[in-house]
């Protein structure tokens, strides 16, 4: 039968497209999706690593000549830029689609990070860091929505965690990059710190070329009544996966009822978050806030700790951050499959609680001055091997538990709350480091540890057993009388 180009809002229909997406075998096409879209996390990790590794360098008169407080402000400004970008582009990705926005947000990031390398003063540097952060914040909303809507349900947990963990490949790359570029034997410091940022822009520019060939999310198309376009898109995806063997026989794939909702207002968003899915909202907030404080308080100040407390030269902090980053990458990569087998509830709870307990004892050893730069790094490698999986599961949770029509803005809202808490933690820890006060820093570590343990307990009670279940089943998509069968 002929299918109209667009169904009207409120029209109910029956479709097998979500099941066809979930039934796809893993293929080279999925790897391309992971590379083209998952690069967001690596870019953010690269940005975070660059600013962390050159924090000491930026205080040098040959560069911008910032003081420690200004470095902390620049870090926080980048995070607040992420907050702004997530809110703006999170709403727009639900309204205009995933593909349009993940091209726009990458462009904004490119402009911001390239301009950061051209900054001539503290004021211009802060403005450009805000722009770069806006692009990355928008990326999180658009990209996480698209990835979850394209990855088969049975693999969603491990794939999401591995992609989220790629943040730390960016961190490691930033560490290597700064070690090479900030070596005064190769380039003067006044030039090398600028090239560090321009490298990030170059990497992002290459990814734009790959993203142009990514499809729109068929699930988003369905919810906006673009049924014919969704049907064409799923056939193209199946051809990319299977070759020409793409015919799906009627009755062989499970169908479900859906209703065209289109773009929804903030009243609808508030109803779903604060009433219909209130327990999930509490869970998401607990996970996001605790992991944001945990990470931002420690990682963004890591280089400063090495310089202030262990007398590591500012240009050599990358040597310590690289193994730390690799520990963070391998955590979600190796533990990710357990979130699909052992299950979300158990693994989220365990990783959060273990991370909190481990950080408390590591903080105690730091306060007692029992560690060196090497043993401090080894301890944090062990702590964050587990904590990285925990933090990644927070993003997985808030992206898979809410309906398609609000997924982008939901991710953005949780991300914003988490980053706001993280930005405050970053500023507070920068002040503590500037004061060179180990006992007060231990207090900060203890607060972070308690937040993680509390979030783990919340997860044990409220987490959803989402493993191997479709997004539509989890979200409880609204349905009505069937008017079309596709």
Q: Encode pLDDT of 292-302 as tens digits.
A: 888 877 776 77
Residue 162: pLDDT above 70?
yes
Burial 274-303 (b: 16+ CB within 10 A, else e): eeebeebbebbbbbbbbbbbbbbbbbbbbb
Residue 287: pLDDT above 90?
yes
- Domain boundaries of the chain, sorted by first residue: 13-219+273-467
Residue 477: pLDDT above 50?
no
Residue 486: pLDDT above 50?
no
**Mean pLDDT of the chain, nearest integer:** 84
Residue 452: pLDDT above 60?
yes
Of 3-7, 66-70, 253-257, give the lowest mean pLDDT range: 3-7
Residue 21: pLDDT above 60?
yes
pLDDT in tens, 368-426: 889 898 898 899 899 999 999 999 999 999 989 988 888 888 888 998 898 788 777 77
Check residue 479 and give its pLDDT. 35
Which CATH number describes the domain made up of 13-219+273-467? 1.20.1250.20
Check residue 61 and give its pLDDT. 78
pLDDT in tens, 86-127: 899 988 888 888 888 888 888 898 899 888 888 888 889 889
pTM of the model: 0.83
Q: What is the CA radius of gyration of the chain?
A: 23
């Amino acid at each position: 039968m002929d299918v109209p180009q667009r169904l009207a809002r409120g029209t109910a229909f029956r479709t097998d497209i979500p099941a066809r997406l979930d039934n796809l075998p893993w293929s080279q096409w999925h790897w391309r999706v992971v590379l083209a879209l998952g690069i967001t996390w690596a870019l953010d990790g690269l940005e975070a690593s660059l600013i962390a590794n050159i924090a000491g360098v930026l205080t040098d008169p040959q560069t911008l000549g910032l003081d420690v407080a200004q470095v902390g402000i620049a870090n926080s400004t980048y995070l607040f830029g992420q907050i702004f970008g997530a809110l703006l582009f999170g709403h727009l990705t639900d309204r205009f689609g995933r593909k349009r926005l993940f091209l726009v947000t990458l462009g904004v990031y490119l402009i911001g990070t390239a301009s950061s390398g051209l900054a001539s003063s503290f004021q211009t540097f802060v403005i450009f860091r805000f722009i770069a952060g806006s692009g990355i914040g928008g990326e999180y909303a658009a990209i996480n929505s698209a990835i979850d809507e394209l990855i088969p349900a049975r693999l969603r947990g491990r794939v999401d965690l591995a992609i989220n963990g790629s943040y730390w490949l960016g961190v490691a790359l930033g560490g290597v990059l700064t070690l090479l570029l900030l070596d005064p034997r190769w380039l003067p410091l006044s030039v090398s710190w600028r090239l560090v940022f321009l490298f990030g822009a170059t990497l992002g520019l290459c990814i734009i070329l790959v993203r142009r060939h990514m499809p729109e999310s068929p699930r988003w198309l369905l919810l906006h009544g673009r049924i014919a376009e969704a049907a064409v898109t799923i056939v193209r995806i199946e051809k990319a996966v299977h070759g020409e063997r793409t015919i799906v026989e009627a009755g062989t794939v499970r169908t479900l009822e859906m209703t065209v909702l289109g773009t929804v207002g903030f009243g609808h968003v508030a109803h779903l978050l604060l009433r219909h899915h209130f327990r999930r909202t509490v869970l998401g907030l607990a996970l996001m806030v605790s992991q944001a404080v945990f990470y931002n308080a420690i990682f963004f100040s890591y280089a400063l700790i090495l310089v202030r407390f262990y007398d590591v030269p500012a240009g050599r902090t990358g040597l310590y951050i690289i193994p730390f980053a690799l520990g963070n990458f391998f955590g979600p990569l190796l533990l990710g499959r357990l979130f699909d087998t052992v299950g979300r509830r158990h693994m989220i709870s365990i990783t959060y609680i273990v991370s909190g307990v481990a950080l408390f004892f590591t903080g105690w050893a730091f306060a007692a001055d029992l560690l060196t730069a090497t043993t401090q790094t080894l301890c944090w490698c062990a702590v964050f091997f587990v904590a990285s999986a925990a933090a990644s599961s927070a993003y997985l949770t808030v992206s898979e538990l809410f309906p398609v029509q609000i997924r982008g803005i939901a991710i953005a809202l949780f991300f914003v709350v988490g980053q706001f808490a993280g930005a405050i933690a970053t500023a507070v820890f920068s002040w503590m480091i500037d004061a060179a006060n180990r006992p007060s820093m231990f207090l900060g570590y203890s607060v972070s540890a308690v937040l993680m343990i509390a979030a783990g307990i919340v997860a044990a009670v409220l987490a959803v057993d989402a493993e191997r279940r479709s997004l539509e089943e989890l979200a409880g998509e609204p349905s009505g009388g069937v008017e079309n069968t596709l």
